[in-house]
Amino acid sequence: MNITFNEKNRSFKLDTENTSYCIAICDEEGFIGHAYYGTKLEEEPLYLMRTAEPPFVPSKNNRDRGSFMDTFPCEFPGNGLGDYRDGAIEIIDAEGHRAVNFTYDDFRIYDGKDKIDGLPQTFENEGSLDGKSGAKAKSLEIYASDKTLSLKAVLKYTIFEDSDALIRSVKILNESGKDIFLTKVMSASLDMDSENFELLTLHGSWARERQMDFRPIGYGKTSVGSVKGESSHQEHPFMALVENGATQESGRVYGFSFIYSGNFLAQVEKSQFDSVRALMGISPIGFKWELKAGESFQTPEVAMVYSDGGLGKMSRTYHDLYRNHLIRSPYKDKERPILINNWEATYFDFNTEKLLDIARQAKKSGIEMLVMDDGWFGVRNDDNTSLGDWNVNEKKLPGGLKHLVDEVNKIGLKFGIWMEPEMISPDSDLYRAHPDWAFAVPGRVGTRSRNQYVLDLTRPEVLEHTWNSIKTVLSSANIEYLKWDMNRQLTDLGSLGLDKDNQGEIFHRFVLAVYELQERLVNEFPNLLLENCSGGGARFDAGMLYYGPQIWCSDDTDAIERLSIQEGTALIYPLSSMGAHVSDCPNHTVGRVTPFETRGHVALAGTFGYELDITKIPEEDRNMIPEQTAMYHKYHSLVRSGDYYRIASYRENRYYDCYGVVSKDKSEALFTFVQVVGRPNYHSRLIRLAGLKPDAKYRIEGEETELLGKTIMEAGILVSNLWGDYRSKLIHLTEVV
């Protein structure tokens, strides 16, 4: 890993173990150009910027300055001065003009990575809450300015010793002496030649999150984004430019993952000259940020990954990056308690006795924690009331939380709780006392969703009140886990705390407030296990992983639906972060009946737990739970820390799914095979596993034969017809030493 500045060429080269990224300063004016991103090179192919070809740089041919601006591969493109591709920044200056363009001033290369304020961020010290500098990262800051406006930009880059990722963000500083507005600031922009790339994104809906979607990149702009105030069920803050024909293990892939949880834009634009410009950042829709003289604005980070080894290598790079440099929780490297959550078991209809019945049976089956979901507070007997009234409902839980938690602890289980801190029900004491605490546009009928409004956390008094509510609940008993939910998106963006010129700041300020609350949470309750959630997986993003090590993947717990949801999620995020539970059948979301064993195998790819009434499920299912909890203990450190390999995708073949993890030293591997649809008159299925040592011998658990890794990967192994739909099998391999 190194970052160098070549004085002669005025160029920067950022080298990770396997990749190079090259930037160069061109022309006397100091245009900052992008030359190359890809497989590691010894040389800098600066000729790729084509500055020696017509239209040439302005110092040689100012007559065609506009053409230069429109073709130059620019590192951080501005607006309104000839580059008609979408830029990375848009402003309104004090005179109302919108032109802006940054040229080079200076740079700094340093060991480590400086902290940024108020945002989730990658860090070099594994697991450190303070992100102190050390030797494991190197950073580059390029200082640039718009010479007319005296507006400065710091283009920030960080690479890590143990990763092929490149972290980027931008800071804008207003040194103009006048107030301006930012109407768009992207975190990263990348200009390259267009080479038959496809765009890979993740789309979805409630209960259908993160489905992989490929599309050709045509001329013009192709984008995904969110304007819902969260990363959303529908589109995901991720995109990849994938070389046509790339597979899991071959082909060039450029991944962009946004470390942010609010509105985003991920866009690729193919120009008239067959170049592509990729942009990623906070969505400019509805964004208008007043940057007063002397103030600065820091964008969230984008993690870029270049892989010359297909999608699989990209995924493994992201998994390691996020495990080693983003997730801070002490649980990151620990086995998570196997939990049982009462949501699908009881919904709102529970009381202390019911929960203790579940806890007692759970304990017998090897489950380690009871999580009490929605409905324990105010008068919340359905989802119409009480959000904001975080006082226990004594009718359901006589003796209060402390009594319940003590009883659960006596049974031998840990206790976890559900909260939805960002919300307020119109039918709540909180709303009756402070109707102005919800976002609202004066004079308009408020848009209810799940009969609730969103708290205006941009106001300090609302944030403080919310923090105190969370703190009071968590301090009132021995609560060791929090499921932080968020069940509606933002609308009616009006805040009484901001004046008219600042209403366009609400979306981002809201996300910053959520981060502030979660930062307080991890500092005040460092041993709490935090699982984020948003109506299932609408806020499953890299931003939230900075605060909690796991996120509820989806409200769809059906084992078959989960295959594609978990495949899309694992494209970027480590398995250790995917909240996955075994639930009852017929499945509450799709009505499908699957074998209990398959449900266990599929949930094993995530954090593992149960979401069912253990006192009521069929006895044969209940009897299988001790076996499943033992299975979790046997495999979970491998699942949590291993390298992920996708072998086959039900999404593509419609018959079966197969994926697995291989330990870092390749001495152990666990693959999961799910036969989604059985086929009559059909032989056993050939699958080629991956990630093993070619020369090592492996034993497949339950079989006599020992095979070389090479044989298993090249010739493959046979999985016999599992007789029936929705059947599954674990394939456990250990190296024979």
Q: Which residues bind ligand DGJ (CB under 6 A)?
A: 343, 373-374, 383, 418, 485, 487, 533, 535-536, 552, 555
Smaller CB separation from ligand DGJ, 374 or 643: 374
Q: Compute the distance between CA of residue 202 and CA of residue 281 in angstroms, rounded to an integer.
A: 16
Least separation in angstroms between CB 130 and ligand DGJ: 32
Q: Which of 241, 309, 324 is nearest to 280 (CA)?
A: 241
Least separation in angstroms between CB 262 and ligand DGJ: 19
Smaller CB separation from ligand DGJ, 287 or 573: 573
Give, in order, the Cα–Cα distances in Å from 115 to each of 158, 304, 475. 11, 19, 30
Smaller CB separation from ligand DGJ, 170 or 345: 345
Beta carbons of 695 and 655 less than 8 angstroms apart: no
Indicate the residue whose CB is closest to ligand DGJ. Answer: 374
Q: Compute the distance between CA of residue 202 and CA of residue 211 in angstroms, rounded to an integer.
A: 5
Cβ of 322: how many Cβ atoms within 10 Å? Answer: 26
Q: Compute the distance between CA of residue 137 and CA of residue 325 in angstroms, rounded to an integer.
A: 10
Residue appearing with tokens 């402003």: 91
Please enumerate in sequence order all residues whose Cβ is within 8 A of that of 353, keeping only pairs 6 or more positions apart, or say none. none
Least separation in angstroms between CB 416 and ligand DGJ: 12
Widest pairwise Cα distance in the chain: 83
Segment (H or E) for 13: strand 11-15
Smaller CB separation from ligand DGJ, 267 or 557: 557
Least separation in angstroms between CB 471 and ligand DGJ: 21
Least separation in angstroms between CB 566 and ligand DGJ: 16
Give Cα 397 to chain centroid, integer Å.
Answer: 36
Please enumerate in sequence order all residues whose Cβ is within 8 A of that of 490, keeping only pairs 6 or more positions apart, or say none. 228, 229, 230, 439, 454, 506, 507, 510
Least separation in angstroms between CB 610 and ligand DGJ: 13
Least separation in angstroms between CB 569 and ligand DGJ: 15
Least separation in angstroms between CB 606 and ligand DGJ: 14
Smaller CB separation from ligand DGJ, 256 or 552: 552
Least separation in angstroms between CB 344 and ligand DGJ: 8
Give Cα 611 to chain centroid, integer Å.
Answer: 23
Beta carbons of 557 and 602 less than 8 angstroms apart: no
Long-range contacts at 356-362 (CB < 8 A, ≥ 24 apart): 356/404, 356/407, 356/408, 356/411, 357/615, 358/613, 358/614, 358/615, 359/407, 359/408, 359/411, 359/413, 360/411, 361/614, 361/615, 361/622, 362/413, 362/610, 362/614
Smaller CB separation from ligand DGJ, 344 or 407: 344
Smaller CB separation from ligand DGJ, 137 or 529: 529
Smaller CB separation from ligand DGJ, 438 or 533: 533
Give, in order, the Cα–Cα distances in Å from 721 to each of 140, 484, 505, 673. 55, 42, 57, 11
What is the token pair recorded at 617? 């499920």
681: left (phi over 0), alpha (psi -120 to 50) or beta: left
Least separation in angstroms between CB 466 and ligand DGJ: 18
Least separation in angstroms between CB 347 and ligand DGJ: 8
Q: Compute the distance between CA of residue 330 and CA of residue 94 in angstroms, rounded to an integer.
A: 47
Give, in order, the Cα–Cα distances in Å from 707 to each of 104, 658, 717. 58, 20, 10
Q: Compute the distance between CA of residue 558 and CA of residue 550 in angstroms, rounded to an integer.
A: 19
Least separation in angstroms between CB 39 and ligand DGJ: 41
DSSP assignment string, 548-595: -SEEE--S---HHHHHHHHHHHHTTS-GGGEE--EE-SS-TTT-----
Segment (H or E) for 5: strand 2-6
Smaller CB separation from ligand DGJ, 416 or 536: 536
Q: Compute the distance between CA of residue 232 and CA of residue 209 in angstroms, rounded to an integer.
A: 9
Segment (H or E) for 89: strand 89-92
Please enumerate in sequence order all residues whose Cβ is within 8 A of that of 116, keeping only pairs 6 or more positions apart, or say none. 169, 171, 298, 301
Give Cα 180 to chain centroid, integer Å.
Answer: 32
Smaller CB separation from ligand DGJ, 397 or 730: 397
| Catalytic residue ranges | 485, 555
Beta carbons of 184 and 89 less than 8 angstroms apart: yes
DSSP assignment string, 272-314: TTSEEEEEEEE--TT--EEE-TT-EEEPPEEEEEEESBHHHHH
Least separation in angstroms between CB 216 and ligand DGJ: 34
Q: Compute the distance between CA of residue 228 and CA of residue 223 in angstroms, rounded to an integer.
A: 16
79-108 burial by CB neighbour count: b if 16+ within 10 A, else e? bebbbebbbbbbbebeeeeeebbbbbbebe
Smaller CB separation from ligand DGJ, 91 or 533: 533
Beta carbons of 536 and 552 less than 8 angstroms apart: yes
Residue appearing with tokens 């002490």: 330
Smaller CB separation from ligand DGJ, 110 or 206: 206
169 burial class (0-12, 13-18, 19+ CB within 10 angstroms)? buried
